[in-house]
A and B are shown apart, each in its own frame.
Chain A
């Protein structure tokens, strides 16, 4: 004799009133969760640091070599655009493209279940991962900017500005990457969107803005990486700190909006 389940007289009723509730374990504070995710993600680079750095820098340096033969090296604005665009491209490659792929892969493997069954806020996971991916880009961006400055005879004095440009443009681009990875219906589409985003950052970032047709210029204005490029350009020659701050403020705003959207997408994705 077997029974199906344990017999109950009213199996459809809501949970009984008066049943003592077990105490819930505390939720993980946002900051503690963010730091734990960030630290865990950053540790992944121990394995892939060298190839990642090599690919990102090699790609950007290759583009600068190519552009050297194309743009008018006598024009300050053209040289600045190429170096700044190539430097921010490293951020787009890692924070946008690779993060989109990473989230796409985690979703495809149901690996986000791990985070969803822990008492950690979705914002902590998204921000921790975005911050880690943005951090991966710093060495590559600096290496590209230094190489570019030497190649195109640009000053190195304001290179410290990258310490602001990378995190803020990184927040915006990682936010876009996270949204792509979390909202794309399939893993392949997440990869495709990440690649397209990076290609757009490449094409619209390294070509001097004043040479672009009006329509393309509009597209450039819609791309968050452009503001990171423009902020970095503003540090060359006689620095325009107002333009620098304004462009970074746009990056920060886009970052906040995109990371908020990614957090929503994370919550939506995981509840099936």
Chain B
């Protein structure tokens, strides 16, 4: 059992970018306030079902966003929140029903092909490359980004060195483990140096070493070339660690957009109390009954937010009373981005911690 003061600080150092704290100044030296993406009134709906059962679903609705040049901007939300739809619109893959997308002065709605000349996109899957070797997949992508044969070979060697992929060079991507496969796909996105990277969950399945290599590579591009990164994630730890700003999506809408610190401030002074029971908690105990009323209960885990004094009081009562006998673990922590997300009215399912 442990009381965690500043939540997750240890994990941040291990999994995120080295030397970058979410609470420090998020603006790197070369970042400017000029817009990279200016999105206004973006909406997309589609119909599902047939005839009488037909319904209209809003994939996204009235989305306004400004993403600044050189920042790492996150899109956070659970599955089905509309992150991937928005990303497909930003990359010119999906035409919105209404709204505008300006990318570095180019109208992506009217000329989607401009996005392909400015943006490197990493989707959730890279099935088109699965049967190629790592080396050929990267080189082919570089060639398709209009690099000459020699420049493509050079760029391939550089990115493989940077991400530690040399030993996997001649292995077909589909024969790699999940994390290695993802790393190879990230390499295809990084090759050819684009000013904008749109990455849909780039580090999913990766071990900490690979994650660090990816974030170091992204940081280097940002420092040297002012690269802008749009990152889709439903991993709150990663979001807190690496993002300069984050838009929180829920049911196709942006429900908040701020720095991770700013979003966490929405929760105010409240702290999070988590209790994990090993057996059935005694509901006749008044403290347990009070907690049971307010807590979000997932299996044996109860989570609730409250002011610090009340939390300490309740925790003292639980640990001193009969409930302690069936208590397996507890944590008392400062608010995370997940708490902010819940406080903003987001649904609690689907976000990942770690």
Contacts and interface: CB of A to CB of B under 8 A. Distances in A.
Contact of B116 (A8, A16, A47, A116): A116
A43 B133 contact: yes
A24 B266 contact: no
A118 interface: yes
Contacts of B95: 271-272
B140 A36 contact: yes
A155 interface: no
A12 B41 contact: yes
A35 B95 CA distance: 30
A8 B258 contact: no
Given A22-B104, A25-B146, A119-B116, A4 B140 contact: no
Which of A24, A40, A43 is most buried by chain B, counting CB atoms within 10 A of its CB? A40
Nearest to B101: A15
Contacts of A19: 35, 102, 105
Interface string B171-200: 010000000000000000000101100000
Interface of B: 35, 38-41, 63-66, 88, 91-95, 100, 102, 104-107, 112-121, 123, 125-129, 131-133, 136-137, 140-141, 143-146, 172, 192, 194-195, 247, 254-258, 262-263, 265-266, 344
Contact of A117 (B38, B93, B127, B140): B93
Interface string A4-21: 111010011111100111
Contacts of B88: 113, 272
A106 B130 CA distance: 11
A25 B118 contact: yes
A29 B144 CA distance: 9
A37 B172 CA distance: 16
The SS class assigned to the A binding surface is loop
Interface in A235-272: 270-272
Interface string A199-231: 000000000000000000000000000000000
Contacts of A26: 117, 146
Interface residues of A, number: 50
Contacts of B121: 113, 117
Interface string A99-143: 000000110011111111111100000000000000000000000
Given A15-B106, A27-B146, A28-B143, 20 more contacts: A2-B257, A5-B257, A6-B257, A8-B40, A11-B40, A11-B41, A12-B100, A15-B105, A21-B105, A24-B114, A24-B117, A24-B118, A25-B192, A33-B144, A43-B132, A43-B133, A43-B136, A44-B131, A271-B93, A272-B88
Nearest to B195: A22
Given A22-B104, A111-B125, A111-B126, A2 B133 contact: no
Contacts of B92: 116-117
A93 B265 CA distance: 62
5 contacts: A11-B40, A25-B194, A113-B88, A115-B144, A117-B91
A41 to B, nearest CB: 9
Interface in A83-103: none
Given A2-B256, A5-B64, A22-B105, A47 B128 contact: no
Contact of A2 (B65, B143, B262): B262
Contact of A119 (B93, B146, B257): B146
Contacts of A5: 39, 63-66, 247, 254, 257
B79 to A, nearest CB: 15
A26 to B, nearest CB: 5
A39 interface: yes
Contacts of A37: 140, 144
A4 B129 CA distance: 37
A126 to B, nearest CB: 13
Contact of B144 (A13, A47, A106, A118): A118
B117 A36 contact: no
A150 to B, nearest CB: 35
